[in-house]
């Protein structure tokens, strides 16, 4: 496989000189439209960098790369396979004996290959991520927590993307090598590629500048801290120079471009890479994010070209717009045109809509002491409950929970929290008012009844 890749590197044509004006202009507009404080990007070939830029940052500034960590983890696992220390179709328990799930039969059948391709059966949210656990056994502990998780599918039956798969792979690497995952990743992948400015530990993370989260459309600095337990699936960091070395190497010898699992829509997932087509061209790619950072690597192996993009801002609400750029740069390189991104207007408006609801609930709460009819009181109590319930249901609809919303999208998470709180208070106040109305009615009825039953009182006689 490696020999074939090297032969292809010599036989496939080298890309023609880039028309850089269109790329620069497009990315300047992209940075402005998305209010990205720091943007670093590069176009690479198998021989190295063809064109790069860094605006509001430098080519040597490290960024967290989110789920682009997964191709690195897959490469590290495949290095173990190349040396015969593991085999891809081995059960995970052959190398991680203490691996447990709520379904013991399923846990015993899951293979290394299934973890690499997200076909283990574990659900997308099988495990809590962003744990910010930097203890020595943090990664192992995150995998041990899966012991109460029941798989969503039988092993090998379906593809479902899950960070938990790569957590398990990281713990397996530690078990097999007897080293922290970060140490083996350096030795097997990062150091051989000459990736000098990388982040794999809290000490290395001290070089990270703050990322940014959006607050009603405007980026605000944010430093969530580092998460060693999340390194295998999303907390690797690197600067642009290091990422271009990785992208160029993957164009020559991409171990992820095998073992594909069909994920529908003409797309597949391999060993740490997605595959789809961009204007008819085969693209092997992965995007990723952490709270405050976004990264995207797109490779076009047959064209011998790749695109790397790093941004120091992120929100899941803006994911389609942020993820469009690397694909559009590939289109521009091949003489095409950027594609419009739609469907984000409603999500962008959601924080503002929630803020309006917060104000209305606040006004309603302030006016709730006024005496109202029973029907009106019931109506407002039900309205408060309905709004609180709808707000509580919004994070799961968007694919998370309230804690994740507060971490990733504070302009969504805090208004949701406020709506839940104020909606609940409005309901309680009006239900309390309704109870008072009922009690007053009971007291009035009793008073009327007592008056009807009480005999008249004669005036006292005085001598």
DSSP string of 101-114, one letter each residue: -SSHHHHHH-BHHH
Architecture of domain 2-333: 3-Layer(aba) Sandwich (3.40)
First-to-last C-alpha distance (Å) of the chain: 126
- Low-confidence residues of the chain, pLDDT below 50? 1-17, 457-463
pLDDT of residue 446: 58
Q: Nearest Cα to 131, choosing from 90, 164, 177?
A: 164
CA 170 to chain CA mean position, Å? 18
Taking phi over 0 as left and psi of -120 to 50 as alpha, with beta for the rest, 61 belongs to beta
Q: What is the CA radius of gyration of the chain?
A: 29
d(CA 63, CA 311): 8
| Domain limits, the chain | 2-333, 345-449
Strand ranges of the sheet holding 237-238, from the earlier edge strand across to the other edge: 63-64, 237-238, 198-199
**Which SS3 state, helix, strand or coil, does residue 314 take?**
strand
CB atoms near residue 121 (< 10 Å): 25
Nearest to 73 by CA among 253, 208, 230, 206: 230
Asked if 247 contacts 237 with a C-beta cutoff of 8 angstroms, the reply is no
- 49: Cβ–Cβ under 8 A, 6 or more apart, which residues? 42, 43, 244, 248
- Name which of 100, 95, 101, 93 is nearest 77 in CA terms: 95
Whole-angstrom CA distances from 345 to 136, 213, 328 are 43, 18, 20
The structure tokens listed for 383 are 């309205």
Q: For 254, which DSSP code? A: -
- Identify the sign of the CA torsion 220, 224, 226, 227: negative
CA distance 278 to 284: 10
Distance of CA 135 to the CA centre of its chain: 22
The predicted structure's pLDDT at residue 1: 39
Q: Percent helix, strand, coil in the chain (nearest 5)?
A: 50, 15, 35
Find where tokens 């789809």 sit: 276
The dihedral through the CA atoms of 271, 274, 275, 281 has a sign that is negative
Contact by Cβ (8 Å): 218, 34:
no
């Amino acid at each position: 496989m490696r020999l074939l890749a090297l032969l292809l590197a010599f036989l496939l044509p080298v890309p023609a000189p880039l028309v850089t004006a269109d790329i620069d202009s497009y990315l300047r507009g992209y940075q402005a439209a998305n209010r990205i404080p720091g943007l670093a990007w590069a176009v690479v070939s198998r021989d190295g960098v063809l064109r790069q830029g860094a605006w509001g940052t430098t080519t040597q500034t490290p960024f967290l790369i989110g789920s682009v960590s997964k191709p690195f983890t897959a490469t590290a696992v495949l290095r173990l396979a190349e040396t015969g220390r593991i085999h891809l179709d081995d059960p995970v328990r052959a190398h991680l004996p203490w691996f447990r799930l709520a379904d013991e039969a399923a846990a015993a059948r899951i293979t290394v290959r299934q973890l690499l391709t997200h076909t283990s059966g574990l659900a997308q949210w099988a495990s809590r991520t962003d744990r910010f656990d930097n203890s020595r056994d943090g990664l192992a502990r995150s995998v041990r927590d899966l012991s109460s998780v029941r798989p969503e599918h039988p092993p090998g039956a379906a593809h479902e993307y899950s960070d938990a798969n790569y957590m398990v792979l990281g713990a397996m690497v530690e078990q097999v090598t007897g080293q922290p995952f970060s140490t083996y990743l350096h030795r097997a992948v990062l150091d051989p590629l000459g990736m000098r400015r990388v982040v794999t530990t809290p000490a290395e993370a001290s070089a990270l500048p703050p990322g940014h989260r959006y607050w009603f459309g405007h980026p605000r600095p944010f430093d969530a801290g580092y998460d060693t337990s999340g390194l295998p699936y999303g907390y690797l960091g690197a600067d642009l120079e290091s990422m271009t070395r990785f992208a160029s190497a993957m164009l020559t010898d991409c171990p992820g471009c095998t073992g594909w699992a069909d994920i529908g829509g003409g797309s597949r997932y391999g060993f740490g890479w997605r595959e789809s087509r961009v204007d008819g061209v085969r693209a092997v790619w992965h995007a990723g994010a952490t709270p405050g950072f976004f990264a995207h690597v797109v490779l076009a192996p047959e064209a011998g070209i790749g695109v790397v993009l790093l941004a120091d801002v992120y929100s899941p609400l803006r994911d389609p717009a942020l993820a469009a750029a690397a694909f559009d740069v590939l289109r521009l390189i091949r003489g095409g045109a950027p594609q419009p991104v739609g469907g984000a207007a409603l999500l962008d408006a959601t924080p503002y809509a929630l803020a309006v609801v917060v104000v209305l609930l606040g006004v309603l709460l302030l006016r709730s002491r006024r005496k109202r009819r029973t029907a009106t009181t019931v109506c407002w109590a039900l309205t408060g409950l309905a709004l609180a319930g709808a707000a509580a249901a919004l994070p799961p609809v968007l694919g998370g929970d309230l804690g994740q919303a507060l971490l990733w999208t504070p302009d969504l998470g805090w208004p949701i929290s406020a709506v839940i709180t104020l909606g609940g208070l409005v309901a309680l106040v009006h239900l309390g008012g309704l109870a008072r109305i009922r009690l007053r009615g009971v007291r009035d009825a009793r008073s009327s009844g007592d008056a009807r039953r009480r005999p008249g009182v004669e005036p006292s006689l005085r001598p």
